[in-house]
Structure formats: C-alpha cells, structure tokens
C-alpha cells in the first residue's frame, strides 16, 4: 500500500483561536504520514491570517478579499490541493485520534467503493453529535421543526445502537462536512462543491451526487474528532438560519421534486410559528425574531 498524500483544507472566518487549536491537533493525528494543510481565509478581521503566517509557516494560506461562503472557499482550497485524499475540516474542529490518517488510508484501501468517509464527531465533553445521516425529507423536516424530535438525547440513544451493531463502520447517506474525507477520484467524477449553497447543505448535496455515481459514504467508528459546532456561524445566526432553511428546501426539491419543496417551506413556516409562541415563555428568546424569519423565508420562497 503506497503512502497517501492528504490535503487538509480548512475554511476560516474570524475564528483565530479555534483555528490555532485545529492546526495544533493535526500533527498527532498524522505523526508519520504525508500531508499538506491549506487554510482559506474568508477576509477575517481578527488577524487570523497573521496568526497562521506567524505560528504555522508551513501551512499554505490563501486569503480571499471577501467572504465567499463555505462551499466556494472550499473549492478554492480543493483547486490548490495536490493530495490523493481531501480532508474538509472545520476551523472549530480538532482531530482527536492518534494515527487518524493511517486508519483512514487503510479503510479506503480495503473499501474501494467508499468515496466519502466521516468520523465520530463529539463535543469537548465527549458527548456524541450527529456525524451525518439520511438524505433530507419532509418527514424528517416535520419531526425536527414541528414535533421537536431533533433532541440530542434522541440522537445519543440512536448512536449507542449504531455502535453496538457496527463496531468498526457503517454506511450512511451523507457525511457532515465538519470532518469529511473525500477521495480525489470522487471530485474528478462529480465535480466540486455546489457553490449555490453559500453555507450549510453543501455536504449533503455533494454526497447525493456521489451516490448517483456509484460512490458510498460511511462513518468510521474507530476515529473521533471534536467539533464545537457553529462557532463562526453563531455570529450572524439569523442569516445563517435563512441559508440553512433555503438550502434544505432546495435539497428536497433536488431529491424529491418541486412539489415537495413547497411543502418544505410550509413546514418551516409552521415550525417558526410554534417557536414564536413558545418564545414568550423563554427569557433568552425574542418572539419578533421568529416573525422576521417567517417573513424572510416567505420572500425566499417567492424568488
């Protein structure tokens, strides 16, 4: 088995300290392997780029003149990469398992039909989080937005069952883009990330195209990565929610057809309406925020 060159691509926007932790976690995860690190900075104003130049001189730094969003900035990094395997790694993630890259290489060598591979994502306290899942549907959307069935407790229960049944790995529809290993051959087959997805949903859309070209996606249980989740995006949460809702509706249209995408918008409106009334009982939420989101999602629907 020839040694694989890994290209680690990290998109950063105003997350300097998290980016430092992310970069510091890489050497122990790949002590003997070959890799290159490419940081694509989306016009950060917190001196992230200066920190990379000063503290990580071996890292290739690409500085965008504006915030291109996640998908477009990632594509900039992919185009500049030389590796046989691409790792898309969030700036708020840290590789935790020693010899991560050796394990990934061995898995890809043994499973030729798997083109996209994820790992167990955990919070800093060790609590598991969703590493991917099934392709989105209106039923899933209804459960999360109206029935509030996206509870972390519900996922932890499912996670334990999956690990008992699949101690090494299990197949999955899509892998979360926070820590996603991709064969370069997959990109050659299906192209880059869809730049119509400014942020969120681009990982699912990519895996959907890959599946239609015969590539499988999977989660490797023997590797873990810490993911703080949403540390950059929470700075502009309302716009991020709009992107997420719009992209999920677009995904439903792509996967299930146009009529289902209309229903998806209605489900989001119903969920926002419920949250509007519930916000009156919660001190940390403002009801007017949900009214604004309802108006904005309606405007996107009419575009």
DSSP one-letter string for 152-167: HHHHHHHHHHHHHH-S
Give Cα separations from 160 to 120, 155, 163, 164, 221 (angstroms). 12, 9, 5, 6, 11
Q: How far apart are alpha carbons 221 and 168 in whole angstroms?
A: 5
- Residue 166 has a pLDDT of 64
- Residue 218 has a pLDDT of 97
- Residue 164 has a pLDDT of 60
On whether the 5-229 domain is CATH 3.90.550.10, my answer is: yes
- Residue 232 has a pLDDT of 54
* CB contact set of 200 (below 8 Å; sequence gap of 6+): 70, 240, 243, 244, 247, 248
- Residue 69 has a pLDDT of 92
Per residue of the chain (303 residues), give pLDDT as tens: 557 799 999 999 999 999 999 999 999 888 777 899 999 999 999 999 999 999 999 999 999 999 999 999 999 999 999 999 999 999 999 999 999 999 999 999 999 999 999 999 999 998 888 899 999 999 999 998 998 876 555 556 565 666 666 668 899 999 999 999 999 999 999 999 999 998 889 999 999 999 999 999 999 999 999 999 765 555 566 777 788 899 999 999 999 999 999 999 999 999 999 988 988 888 777 888 888 888 887 776 655
- Residue 77 has a pLDDT of 98
Encoded tokens for 222: 């023997």
* CB contact set of 196 (below 8 Å; sequence gap of 6+): 71, 250
Q: Is 81 helix (H, G, I), strand (E, B) or coil?
A: coil
Domain boundaries, the chain: 5-229, 235-302
Encoded tokens for 130: 């969703």
Name the one residue in this structure whose structure tokens are 């000063």. 54
Q: Phi-psi bin for 230: left (phi > 0), alpha (psi -120 to 50), beta?
A: left
Query: pTM score > 0.85 for this model?
Result: yes
- Residue 286 has a pLDDT of 81
- Residue 241 has a pLDDT of 79
Contact 301, 272 (CB under 8 A): no
Q: How far apart are alpha carbons 54 and 139 in whole angstroms?
A: 49
- Residue 298 has a pLDDT of 75
Which candidate, 119, 118, 131, 116, places its Cα nearest to that of 184? 116
Q: How far apart are alpha carbons 59 and 110 in whole angstroms?
A: 30
Contact 159, 202 (CB under 8 A): no
* CB contact set of 235 (below 8 Å; sequence gap of 6+): 14
Q: 263-288 burial, b for 16+ CB within 10 Å, e for fewer?
A: ebbebbbebbeebbeebeeeeeeeee
Contact 219, 179 (CB under 8 A): no
What is the Cα Rg of the chain in Å?
19
Q: What phi and psi values does residue 40 have, to the nearest 5 degrees?
A: -105, 110
- Count CB atoms within 10 A of the CB of residue 31: 11
Burial of 132 (0-12, 13-18, 19+ CB in 10 A): buried
- Residue 216 has a pLDDT of 98
Which candidate, 291, 111, 91, 117, places its Cα nearest to that of 203? 117
Q: Is 41 helix (H, G, I), strand (E, B) or coil?
A: strand
- Residue 162 has a pLDDT of 60
Which candidate, 112, 81, 83, 118, places its Cα nearest to that of 97? 118
Taking each helix axis as running N to C, give the angle between helix 258-279 and helix 237-256, from 0 to 180 degrees, rounded to the nearest 10. 150
- Residue 165 has a pLDDT of 65
Alpha helices (H) along the chain? 16-29, 48-55, 70-80, 100-110, 138-145, 152-165, 184-190, 202-212, 237-256, 258-279, 287-302
């Amino acid at each position: 088995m020839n040694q694989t060159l890994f290209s680690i691509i990290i998109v950063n926007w105003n997350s300097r300290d998290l980016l430092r932790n992310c970069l510091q976690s890489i050497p122990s995860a790949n002590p003997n392997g070959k890799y290159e690190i490419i940081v694509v900075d989306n016009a950060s104003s917190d001196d992230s780029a200066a920190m990379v130049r000063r503290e990580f001189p071996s890292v290739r730094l690409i500085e965008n003149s504006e915030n291109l969003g996640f998908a477009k900035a990632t594509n900039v990094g992919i185009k500049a990469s030389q590796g046989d395997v691409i790792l898309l790694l969030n700036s708020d993630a840290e590789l935790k398992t020693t010899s991560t890259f050796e394990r990934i290489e061995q898995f890809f060598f043994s499973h030729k039909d798997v083109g996209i591979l994820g790992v167990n994502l955990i919070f800093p306290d060790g609590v598991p989080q969703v590493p991917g899942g099934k392709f989105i549907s209106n039923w899933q959307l209804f459960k999360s937005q109206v029935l509030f069935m996206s509870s972390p407790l519900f996922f932890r229960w499912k996670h334990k069952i999956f690990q008992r049944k699949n101690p090494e790995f299990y197949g999955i529809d899509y892998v979360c883009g926070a820590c996603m290993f991709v064969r370069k051959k997959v990109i050659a087959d299906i192209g880059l990330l869809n730049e119509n997805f400014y942020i969120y949903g681009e990982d699912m859309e990519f895996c959907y195209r890959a599946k239609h070209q015969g590539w499988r996606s999977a989660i490797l249980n023997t590797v873990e990565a810490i993911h703080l989740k949403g540390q950059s995006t929470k700075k502009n949460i309302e716009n991020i929610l709009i992107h997420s809702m719009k992209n999920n509706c677009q995904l439903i249209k792509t996967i299930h057809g146009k009529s289902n995408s209309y229903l998806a918008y209605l489900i989001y409106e119903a969920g926002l309406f419920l949250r509007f009334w519930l916000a009156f009982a919660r001190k940390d939420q403002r009801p007017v925020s949900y009214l604004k989101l309802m108006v904005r999602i309606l405007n996107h629907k009419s575009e």
